[in-house]
Amino acid sequence: MCGIVGYTGKRCARDILIEGLKRLEYRGYDSSGIAVRGPGGITCTRSVGRIADLEKQIAGIDLAGSVGIAHTRWATHGAPTQANAHPHTDCSANVYLVHNGVIENCDKLKAQLEQEGHTFTSETDTEVIAHLVEKYLEGDDLAAAVQQALKRIIGTFGIAVMCRQCPDTIVVARNGSPIVIGVGDDEYYVASDVSALVEHTRQIIYLDDNEIAILKPDGFRSLTIDNVPTTKKVTEVDWDIEMIGLNNFDTFMAKEIHEQPETVRAAFRGRLYREQCEVRLGGLMDLGDTFLDARRIIISACGTAWHSALIGECMIEDIARVPVEVEYASEFRYRNPIIEPGTIVLVISQSGETADTLAALNEAKRRGVPVLAISNVVGSTIARESDAGVYIHAGPEIGVASTKAFTSQMVVLYLISLMLGRARGVGAAEGIKMIQALENIPDQISKVLEVESQVQHLAEKYYRKAENSLFLGRGYSFPIALEGALKLKEISYVHAEGYPAAEMKHGPIALITPDMPVVFIAVQDSIYDKILVNMKEVKARGGKVIAIATEGDALINNIADDVVYVPDAPEPLTPLLTVVPLQLLAYHVATMKGCDVDKPRNLAKSVTVE
Ligand code: AGP
C-alpha cells in the first residue's frame, strides 16, 4: 500500500530516492517524505500530496549525502497530513524509519512507550516502531535494536531504518510487506518493488518474511529477526526501464490497454504445442497428477483478479468439466471453508502482494491443500509462497486500474482449462481449434482498439452528467459486466453496478431512467436471445442502452441506442474482446471528468493490508 526507497553508496541519494518514489507512487500517493544523511547529520522533509509537492518542498534544501530513505504513503492510521507522513523518528530525532504495513498492536505498544516517557508526534502505527528502536538502541548496533523492536510487533511490515550513530548503514526488514534489495557497484538500493530499482540495477535480492538485512556501501548481511544468519541469492530480473515508461502515451492506463495484443500473446507464447494439440505450463509440471487429477478447484482472489476467477470458473467447468468455486480471498480466509480431499486452491494476483489473497493462500497451505498461483510479478510473495504457479508475463502494470493483467490472467486460465481438458477427454481436433482461436485473439484485440474514438464519443454522449450506470451480462459476459462496472467506478467515481442481466428484473430495474446508461454485453453466444429480452425490458422503461455486440449483428441495432462491435470468437474467449471497450469507456469517462486515471483517489495499486 505504500512505497519505500532507500540508498547507500557513493552517489547523491536525493535524486535516486525522489526518482524511486516516482516509480512507486502508484502504490500510494497521499503524502511522502525523505531523509538524507549529509555532513551535518540527517535532514528529513515530509509533505502532503504527491511526490511533486515533496520535490517543491526540498528544492531549496541542502540534501547532500549518499545515504537516505524515502516513502510515499497510502494512509491507514491517521489522515494524510505532514505529521503522519514518513519517515518517522524517535524522541531525539536520532532514528529515522519508513514502513509499509499495519502494526495491529500499536495502541498497546504506544501506551507502554508513553508510560516510559516517550512522546509521540503522529497518529500513525509506524511511529511506534521508531520509538521501540530508540528503546533498544545501544551504541551503534542498529540491527540488534531493530530485531528487538520487531519482536514486539504483531502485524505486517516492510521497513527501512537509519540512525545518526551509523553513518552509512540502512537496516531493512520484512514480514508480509515486500522488500527488494538492489545490488550495485559498492552501493545498495532497497525498495518495495523492482520498478524503483531497475534503472540502476537488475541484480535483485528478495527479502523473506521475518528477515532483516544490513546494507552498507561495501557490503550486505542478512539475518532472521532471531539473529540466525541467512544466505540470499541474487536474481537477474528481466525488466528494463522502457517497460516502466509511458512510451508516448498520456497515461500508464492508456499504454497498458493498448499493450494488450502483445501482452496476451506473451501470456501464451511458448506454451502451445500444436503438434500434440496441447498446452504445457512449466510451473504446473511440479504438481504433476495432483493438478491433472484435481477433483475440485477453489479460485480465490480480490477485485479484478476475482473477476478473472469467475471467467476461469466458466472456462474450466465448460472445457474440462472440473467443478470450480470462486471465493473472495477476504471471505475465504475467515469462513472456515470445507475443503475435500482432491481439492486444489488457485490464487490469482497481479501484484503477488495482496494481503487478503496471501492470507487465503496461507489458509489453504495451513490445511495441507496444494496451492497454485497465477501472478504477474516475478519473485512476489504469492509467487514464492505457492506450491506451483504460472506467470502471466504482462510486464509491469503501473496503472492502478488493472487492464492488461486481467486479459492475461484470462489467457492463463484458458490454458489451464485446455491443459485439464486434454487430460480429461478433449480430443486433439478440439484442442487444435481452441489453440487456433486463442492465437487469433491478439489481432482481434487490435481490431477492437480501433473503436476507441467511437467509445470516446459514447463517453461524452452518455456520461457527462450520469451519476450512476448499470452493466449487464449473462454467462461468460456476467463477470465482464462486473469488471466494466469496477473500471468505471474506480477511475471516474461514477457509481456503477454489474449484474447478471436476468437479475435486473429482481430489483435493479427500479433504477432505470433515461439518465442512467445501461451497458449490455450482448455478443451472439448461447444465451443471446435471452439478453435481447433483458435489453427490451430496459428500453420499455425508457432506459438508454449501449450494447457490446458481435460484428455483423444487425438485429441489435433495432433495440440498442448505440452498439460497439467486437469480432466473433468462441464463447470462452469472448471476454478477452468484450472487456476492451469497457476499459476504454471507463478511461474516457474518467479523462473527460478530469480524473487521474493512473492514481485514482483513495486507491493504491497493491493492497498489502487487510
Ligand atoms: C483493479 O482495477 C483494482 N485496482 C483492484 O481491484 C485489484 O484488482 C485488486 O486489488 C487485486 O490486486 P492483485 O491482482 O494485485 O491481487
Out of 74, 177, 256, 302, give the residue to mutate to test ligand 1, the one with the largest number of ligand atoms within 8 Å of its CB. 302
Mutate to test the pocket of ligand 1, among 26, 253, 304, 356 (most ligand atoms within 8 A of CB): 304
* Pairwise CA distance, residues 182 & 72, whole Å: 19
Ligand 1 center–CA 334 separation, angstroms = 20
Stretch among 9-23, 40-54, 270-284, 420-434 having the lowest mean pLDDT: 270-284
| Confidence band, pLDDT 50/70/90 cuts, at residue 278 | confident
Provide the grid cell at 108: 498497546
- Given pLDDT bands bounded at 50, 70 and 90, which one contains residue 2? confident
Residue 537, classified by CB atoms within 10 Å of its CB into exposed (0-12), middle (13-18) or buried (19+), is: middle
Structure confidence at residue 190 as a pLDDT band (50, 70, 90) = very high
Residue, of 562 and 80, whose pLDDT is higher: 562
pLDDT at 282: 79
Nearest Cα residue to atom 2 of ligand 1: 401
Q: How far is the CA of 301 from the centre of ligand 1 (A)?
A: 9
Among protein residues, the one whose CA lies closest to atom 16 of ligand 1:
349
Could you give the CA distance from residue 126 to residue 509 in angstroms, rounded to a whole number? 47
- Closest atom of ligand 1 to CA, residue 405: 14
Among residues 2, 106, 277, 595, which one is catalytic? 2
- Of 177, 306, 351, 491, which is best to mutate to test ligand 1, by the most ligand atoms within 8 angstroms of its C-beta? 351
Give the pLDDT confidence score for residue 117 in this predicted structure: 96
pLDDT band at 1 (very low <50, low <70, confident <90, very high): low
**Average pLDDT for residues 421-446, to the nearest whole number?**
95
| Gap from CA of 351 to ligand 1 centroid (Å) | 8
* Phi, psi torsion values for 164, nearest 5 degrees: -65, -35
What tens digit of pLDDT does each residue of 305-359 get?
A: 999 999 999 999 999 999 999 999 999 999 999 999 999 999 999 999 999 999 9
Q: At residue 29, what is the residue type?
A: Y
In the chain, % of residues over pLDDT 70:
100
Among residues 334, 347, 406, the alpha carbon closest in space to that of 380 is found at 347
Most confident of 38-42, 103-107, 589-593: 589-593
Report which of 583, 544, 580, 587 is spatially closest to residue 565, judged by C-alpha positions.
Answer: 580
106 carries an active-site annotation: no
Mean residue pLDDT across the chain = 93
DSSP per residue over 69-134, as a string? EEEEE--SSS-S-TTTSSPEE-TTS-EEEEEES-BTTHHHHHHHHHHTT-----S-SHHHHHHHHH
Distance 483 CA to ligand 1 centre (A): 11
**Which fold would CATH assign to domain 3-241?**
Glutamine Phosphoribosylpyrophosphate, subunit 1, domain 1 (3.60.20)
**Cβ atoms of residues 9 and 187 within 8 Å:** yes
Closest ligand 1 atom, residue 304 Cα:
8
pLDDT in tens, 89-130: 999 999 999 999 888 889 999 999 999 999 999 999 999 999
CA 302–ligand 1 middle distance (angstroms): 6
Structural domain spans, the chain: 3-241, 245-440, 452-592
Q: Which of 489, 544, 599, 605 is catalytic?
A: 605
Q: What is the CA radius of gyration of the chain?
A: 25
Topology, domain 245-440: Rossmann fold (3.40.50)
Q: How confident is the model at residue 246 (pLDDT cuts 50, 70, 90)?
A: confident
Is the pLDDT confidence value at 518 over 80? yes
Write out the three cell numbers for 51.
511526490
Residue 81 pLDDT greater than 70, yes or no: yes
**Do the domains 3-241 and 245-440 sit in the same CATH topology, yes or no?**
no
382 CA closest ligand 1 atom index: 16
| Confidence class for position 7, pLDDT limits 50, 70, 90 | very high
Residue 2 bears catalytic tag: yes
Q: What is the pLDDT of residues 373-430, one digit of tens each?
A: 999 988 788 998 999 999 999 988 999 999 999 999 999 999 999 999 999 999 999 9
Question: pTM of this prediction?
Answer: 0.80
C-alpha cell at 443: 489481432
What is the 3-class SS of 492-503, one letter each residue? Answer: HCCEEEEEEHHH
List residues near ligand 1 (CB under 6 A). Answer: 302-305, 349-351, 354, 357, 400-402, 490, 606-607
pLDDT value of position 273 = 87
Give ∠ CA 502-506-512 in degrees, rounded to 5.
85
Q: Per-residue pLDDT tens for 473-499?
A: 999 999 999 999 999 999 999 999 999
* 3 state SS of 394: coil
Look at ligand 1, atom 9, and give the residue with the nearest C-alpha. 303
Query: For position 79, what pLDDT does the model report?
Result: 77
The C-alpha cell that represents 7 in the structure block: 540508498
Closest ligand 1 atom, residue 354 Cα: 16
177 alpha carbon – ligand 1 mean position (Å): 16
| Superfamily per CATH, domain 452-592 | Glucose-6-phosphate isomerase like protein; domain 1 (3.40.50.10490)
Indicate whether 609 pLDDT > 90: no
Instruction: Calculate how far, in angstroms, residue 405's C-alpha sits from the geometric centre of ligand 1.
Output: 9
In this predicted structure, what is the pLDDT of residue 560? 97
The closest of 491, 560, 486, 557 to 519, measured between CA atoms, is 560
